[in-house]
Each structure stands twice: as structure tokens, then as C-alpha cells.
């Protein structure tokens, strides 16, 4: 009689689907569920699920604080795992009030990496758009102004990744999903999963657009070399959507999207029935210019222009606007153009009024 082996062992069992279960075969590791521990953290709830990772709200039992933990999904190739760990390295070196902070990195069930980070109690811009359709102009401008601040910091900072020093960083995935308004009115940029000083290439044409492609710059779609101005384009499309409630590029297939974006074709902002300063239209259109050299040279220039126009629209600061909106969205009313009561307009009105009065006097004399 031959010696028993795992392949012919009587301990094998027949599963419902007709396949044979081998007790010696490693069982797949399930993703965490409520109550499980991820490092020093106890899972409270799943708060986000992406293509490559899940995000959980957790309780850090040692420090007794709420945190967020991002766990890489099982079964991903080596490149995805390396990109996940690169995100952790990048976030660990970023310290800005408008960027989500990382606290730790570890492994769940020994070999599944996770990133422990700041938990932001709030709402993503994607959810806000779905709830509000569009945001009040002053809120939209304030939100994007703060993201300009975050990106300015990221774009000029030096990074050491895998022994090599890089000057600046491109986020490459600016979209409403990755921007959060906290309940305290603080704007946070998150998800640096594909951030790095290198280019993006796409390998599929004609398939349905998934996720972030609608916010990519034309040069990203063309697979060209990227610089920080690609983030300016993407942020411009976010501002466009916050103002109108509509995507600048709503096409459903990548081939249609490429055709429109590579020609710079989108519905003009001033064609919407929305009261807005003409200068704001110019700012958005400049940020979304087809050629990178026609956009703002630096994200700080974009932010400066937004701040400048905001000061002409309201006496409130960006901080005050976001805080008030977070506490009570209805407290921010729609912007309406105001008629100045001094300067040239008064002179024109005075002259016009004088002509009218003079005309009436002359008419009375003639009569």
C-alpha cells in the first residue's frame, strides 16, 4: 500500500460546488470586519471601499483615540503593494493642516499591509455634490483655495523615496472623492496612492471610464510626461463641478473622453444660468487650458487668484466660510452681483440723473 499524501488523503472533503477542499492548502485571509483588530486598533465600521483597499474607522485601544486604517485588499500584484507602501512613505513626510496625517504602518494577519492615519469626521466633496448638486460660489472657491495650499506644499517639498531624492510631488488623482470637509470646517486632501514624480500611462481605449479618469489632465490621457500643472488641470475640473454641479467631461467611454479632452472641448462655464463674476470664469478656464503652458505656472498662482476674487465677493475669510457651511449649509446664501454705490458708477448715475432732470425742466419750459 502506498503512503498517504495530501493529494490522496482521506481527510479531503468534497465542497458544495464539487471541488475538493485540501486541508493542507493555505486558506485565503478574509478582510477585517467589525470587531477585528488591525494592529493596535479595533474595527468599528467600514467607511470606504476602493478598488485596491478598504478604509475602516477604528478605535486605537492603547491611545484611546479614533483613527482611520487603510488596508490593502488581498490578491493584488506586487506593483499595487509597492504603490501602497509608497503612499505610506509619502504621507509620513507630509505635515500640512490640509493634508491627512499618517500615524503608523503595519501588517494585518502578518502579510497584509495597512496604513493607520488621521480620522477626518466629515463629508467628501463627492457626497456634498450629490446632496447639494452644486455649492455656493464662496464655498466652492474657499474649498479649492485650501487644496491649492495643500498642493503648493506638496509640489515644492523634497522627498526621499527608496534612497532617491525627488524635488516636489505630483498628486495625480485630484477628484471630489479625495477631498473632505470636516465637521469643523477644515478641508483635507487625502489618497496619495498614485502620487509620485513620474508619468502615468493608460493601456485601454474604448472601455467604460472607471473612477478618476474624468478628472485626469489631457497629458495624462495621452501618456505624456507630467509636471505639477497636471494637478492644476484636475483641480480646475473639480472647481468647475463644485460651481455647476456637472462634470466638465461627462463622457461615458475613454475614447469619447480622450477626443473631448485632447481638443479642450467642454461646456463653457458662463453658459450656465449661474450668477458669477466674469473673472471667476477666466480663472477656471485658465486652470483647465489644454496646454500646460497656458495654465497657471504654479498652483500658488491659482490659489492667489481665487483668494483675490473671494475678497471682492465677501468680507468673510475662507476659514469662516467653510466653518459656517459645515455647521449649517443653508447659512451660506447664493452670491449675487452687487451694484456699487461709489466710484464711477455713482458718477455715471449722477450724470444720467442730471440729464433726466434737465430734460424734464426743459420740457416744462417748452410746455
Q: Are strands 187-189 and 20-21 parallel, antiparallel or unpaired?
A: unpaired
Q: Which helix (H) or strand (E) holds 345?
A: helix 344-366
* Catalytic residue flag (residue 173): yes
Contact 153, 308 (CB under 8 A): no
- Cα–Cα distances (Å) from 74 to 32, 52, 70, 113, 307, in that order, read 11, 8, 13, 10, 44
Instruction: State how far the Cα of 1 lies from the Cα of 8, in Å rounded to an integer.
Output: 12
Instruction: State how far the Cα of 277 lies from the Cα of 366, in Å rounded to an integer.
Output: 46
Q: Residue 99 has what DSSP assignment? A: B
| SS3 state of residue 30 | coil
Residue 52 burial class via C-beta count within 10 angstroms: exposed 0-12, middle 13-18, buried 19 and up: middle
Instruction: State how far the Cα of 114 lies from the Cα of 84, in Å rounded to an integer.
Output: 9
- Integer distance in angstroms from the first to the last C-alpha of the chain? 133
Instruction: State how far the Cα of 220 lies from the Cα of 232, in Å rounded to an integer.
Output: 12
Active-site residue (options: 36, 173, 184, 231): 173
Instruction: State how far the Cα of 215 lies from the Cα of 235, in Å rounded to an integer.
Output: 8
Dihedral angle computed from the Cα positions of residues 261, 267, 268 and 269, in that order, rounded to the nearest 10 degrees:
-110
Neighbours of 97 (CB within 10 A): 12
Residue 222 burial class via C-beta count within 10 angstroms: exposed 0-12, middle 13-18, buried 19 and up: middle
Instruction: State how far the Cα of 149 lies from the Cα of 309, in Å rounded to an integer.
Output: 16
Contact 169, 155 (CB under 8 A): yes
Nearest by Cα to 114 from 52, 57, 69: 69
Residues catalogued as catalytic? 173
Amino acid at each position: 500500500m502506498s503512503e498517504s499524501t495530501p493529494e490522496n488523503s482521506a481527510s479531503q472533503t468534497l465542497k458544495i460546488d464539487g471541488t475538493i477542499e485540501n486541508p493542507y492548502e493555505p486558506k485565503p485571509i478574509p478582510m477585517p470586519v467589525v470587531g477585528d483588530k488591525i494592529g493596535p486598533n479595533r474595527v468599528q465600521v467600514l467607511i470606504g471601499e476602493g478598488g485596491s483597499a478598504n478604509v475602516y474607522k477604528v478605535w486605537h485601544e492603547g491611545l484611546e483615540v479614533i483613527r482611520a486604517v487603510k488596508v490593502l485588499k488581498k490578491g493584488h500584484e506586487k506593483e499595487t503593494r509597492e504603490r501602497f507602501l509608497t503612499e505610506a512613505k509619502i504621507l509620513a513626510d507630509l505635515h500640512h493642516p490640509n493634508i491627512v496625517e499618517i500615524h503608523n504602518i503595519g501588517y494585518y494577519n502578518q502579510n497584509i499591509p495597512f496604513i493607520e492615519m488621521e480620522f477626518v469626521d466629515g463629508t467628501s466633496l463627492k457626497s456634498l455634490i450629490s446632496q447639494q448638486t452644486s455649492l455656493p460660489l464662496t464655498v466652492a472657491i474657499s474649498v479649492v483655495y485650501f487644496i491649492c495650499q495643500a498642493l503648493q506644499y506638496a509640489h515644492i517639498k523634497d522627498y526621499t523615496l527608496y534612497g532617491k531624492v525627488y524635488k516636489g510631488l505630483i498628486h495625480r488623482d485630484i477628484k471630489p472623492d479625495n477631498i473632505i470637509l470636516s465637521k469643523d470646517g477644515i478641508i483635507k486632501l487625502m489618497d496619495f496612492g498614485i502620487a509620485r514624480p513620474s508619468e502615468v500611462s493608460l493601456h485601454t481605449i474604448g472601455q467604460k471610464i472607471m473612477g478618476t479618469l474624468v478628472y485626469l489632465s489631457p497629458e495624462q490621457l495621452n501618456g505624456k510626461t507630467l509636471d505639477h500643472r497636471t494637478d492644476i488641470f484636475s483641480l480646475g475640473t473639480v472647481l468647475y463641478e463644485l460651481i455647476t454641479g456637472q462634470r466638465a467631461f461627462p463622457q461615458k467611454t475613454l475614447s469619447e473622453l480622450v477626443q473631448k479632452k485632447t481638443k479642450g472641448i467642454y461646456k463653457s462655464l458662463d453658459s450656465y444660468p449661474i450668477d458669477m463674476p466674469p473673472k471667476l470664469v477666466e480663472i477656471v478656464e485658465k486652470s483647465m487650458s489644454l496646454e500646460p503652458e497656458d495654465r497657471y505656472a504654479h498652483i500658488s498662482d491659482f490659489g492667489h487668484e481665487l483668494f483675490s476674487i473671494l475678497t471682492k465677493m465677501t468680507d468673510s475669510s475662507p476659514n469662516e466660510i467653510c466653518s459656517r457651511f459645515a455647521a449649517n449649509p443653508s447659512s451660506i446664501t447664493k452670491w449675487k452681483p452687487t451694484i456699487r454705490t461709489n466710484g464711477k458708477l455713482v458718477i455715471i448715475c449722477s450724470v444720467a440723473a442730471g440729464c433726466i432732470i434737465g430734460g424734464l425742466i426743459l420740457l416744462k419750459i417748452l410746455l
